[in-house]
């Protein structure tokens, strides 16, 4: 199955280390040493301390009766089921936020493509007013996907572009409006305040829409991504995460601490630079890809 294949492939690096460590435990039997090396590997893959300790507990408890299936069940049970399809009656405005270079613009385009092929009437809004190239970048994508895009190169204020975008969304009957925002460091107060203002404009001036937002997180940044997510969630509503660049990292475990510590579910995984390189997150596939318990 192509779908399973991509996620499985994207987790290759993480799986290689993780499943090796489990195999060592199988071969060398459950011992203090083999468990310690498993522990180090899982911590290194960013699963988070609590999850790692619990996994070790499962291994010890089931040392005689095929612990890998039990570990799989346990890890799956720690993640929420994904309902990436919304059951909202209202049209949706989806804000894409995150730190510089984490994949907002690329993910916005991938999402536009995804929702368009699901039958949504998609509109894109280029609300990155800081870099002229950012608007061009999104225009190229919009052209390829053949979706409408709202931008205003003269605007200084992202909330002004957002206002124009949502006005257009309203009049054209868009059911899914995807807003690409400027990259901002979570430690810059004024830029975070600006983001807050964008939400306020959307919520107060356009009550006919339901506002959702996703944060893009570079999977390879580990703990730093957690800090980014935490800071964004303290300022604005964050409904979920898009874990990007999963194709290039062995640190695919961040999904667990993200949900456990911050209550942020991963909704999509980015596995490359192309339009088709985005998949709705599925906990079973993800865990199997991590452990190597299913074939691609
Ligand atoms: N390998 C890989 N590359 C990705 C993925 N997502 C994005 N990229 C690349 O990462 C780089 C940055 O992506 P952008 O989408 O421009 O990131 P951004 O968050 O919009 O960046 P700023 O607007 O500058 O903050 C680009 O070269 C993308 O092609 C992914 O899932 N995998
Ligand atoms: Mg961008």
Ligand nearest to the CA of 9: 1
- The Cα–Cα gap between 204 and 202 comes to 6
pLDDT of residue 10: 82
* Same domain, residue pair 109 and 221: yes
Closest CA to 19 of 292, 286, 255: 292
Which residue range forms the structural domain that includes residue 62? 2-77
* Same domain, residue pair 246 and 163: yes
Which residues, 6 or more positions from 267, have their beta carbon under 8 angstroms from its beta carbon? 82, 84, 214, 239, 240, 241, 242, 280, 281
Please check whether residue 64 lies inside any domain of the structure: yes
Residue pair 128/198 in contact by the 8 Å Cβ criterion: no
pLDDT of residue 248: 84
Please check whether residue 115 lies inside any domain of the structure: yes
Q: Ligand 2 center to residue 121 CA distance, Å?
A: 22
pLDDT of residue 295: 61
pLDDT in tens, the chain (296 residues): 445 577 788 888 888 888 888 887 877 777 888 889 899 999 999 999 999 999 999 999 998 888 899 999 999 999 998 875 566 789 999 999 999 999 999 999 999 999 999 999 999 999 988 887 889 999 999 999 999 999 988 888 899 999 999 999 999 999 999 999 988 887 778 888 889 999 999 999 999 999 999 999 999 998 899 999 999 999 999 999 999 999 888 888 999 999 999 999 999 999 999 999 999 999 999 999 888 887 65
* Same domain, residue pair 114 and 71: no
Atom of ligand 1 nearest to the CA of 183: 25
* Same domain, residue pair 127 and 160: yes
Please check whether residue 109 lies inside any domain of the structure: yes
Q: Ligand 2 center to residue 77 CA distance, Å?
A: 34
- To the question of pTM greater than 0.85 for the whole model, the response is yes
Residue owning the nearest CA to atom 27 of ligand 1:
273
Atom of ligand 1 nearest to the CA of 101: 21
Buried b (16+ CB within 10 A) or exposed e, 94-113: bbbbbbeebbbbbbbbbbbb
Question: Domain boundary at 51, 77, 103, which?
Answer: 77
Residue with the two structure tokens 């192509």: 2
- The Cα–Cα gap between 100 and 83 comes to 27
CATH number, domain containing residue 189: 3.40.50.300
Q: Ligand 1 center to residue 142 CA distance, Å?
A: 16
Q: Ligand 2 center to residue 96 CA distance, Å?
A: 10
pLDDT of residue 26: 77
Number of domains making up the chain? 2
Beta strands in 219-290 (DSSP E): 240-244, 266-270, 278-280
Atom of ligand 1 nearest to the CA of 248: 1
* Same domain, residue pair 135 and 38: no
Which residues, 6 or more positions from 246, have their beta carbon under 8 angstroms from its beta carbon? 10, 11, 219, 252, 269, 270, 271
* Same domain, residue pair 8 and 54: yes
Please check whether residue 292 lies inside any domain of the structure: no
Rounded to the nearest 5 percent, the helix, strand and coil shares of the chain are: 55, 15, 30
Burial of 45 (C-beta count, 10 Å sphere; 0-12/13-18/19+): buried
């Amino acid at each position: 199955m192509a779908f399973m294949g991509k996620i499985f492939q994207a987790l290759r690096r993480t799986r290689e280390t993780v499943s090796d460590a489990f195999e060592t435990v199988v071969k060398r039997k459950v011992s203090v040493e083999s468990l310690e090396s498993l522990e180090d590997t899982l911590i290194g893959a960013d699963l988070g301390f609590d999850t790692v300790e619990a996994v070790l507990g499962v291994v010890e408890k089931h040392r005689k009766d095929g612990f890998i299936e039990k570990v799989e069940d346990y890890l799956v049970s720690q993640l929420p089921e994904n309902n990436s399809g919304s059951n909202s009656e209202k049209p949706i405005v989806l804000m894409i936020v995150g730190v510089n270079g984490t994949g907002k613009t690329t993910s916005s385009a991938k999402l536009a493509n995804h929702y368009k092929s699901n039958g949504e009437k998609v509109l894109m809004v280029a609300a990155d007013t800081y870099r002229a190239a950012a608007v061009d970048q999104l225009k190229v994508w919009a052209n390829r996907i053949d979706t409408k895009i709202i931008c205003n190169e003269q605007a200084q204020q992202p909330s002004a572009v957002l206002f124009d975008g949502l006005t257009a969304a309203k009049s054209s009957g868009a059911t899914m409006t995807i807003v690409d925002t400027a990259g901002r460091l979570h430690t810059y107060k004024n830029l975070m305040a600006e983001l807050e203002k964008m939400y306020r404009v959307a919520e107060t001036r356009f009550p006919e829409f339901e506002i959702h937002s996703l944060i893009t997180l570079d999977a390879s940044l580990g703990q730093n991504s957690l800090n980014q997510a935490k800071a964004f969630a303290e300022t604005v509503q964050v409904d979920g995460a898009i874990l990007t660049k999963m194709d290039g990292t062995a640190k695919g475990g961040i999904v667990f601490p993200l949900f456990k510590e911050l209550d942020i579910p991963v909704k999509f995984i980015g596995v490359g630079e192309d339009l088709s390189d985005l998949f709705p997150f599925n906990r079973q596939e993800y865990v199997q890809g991590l452990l190597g318990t299913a074939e691609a």
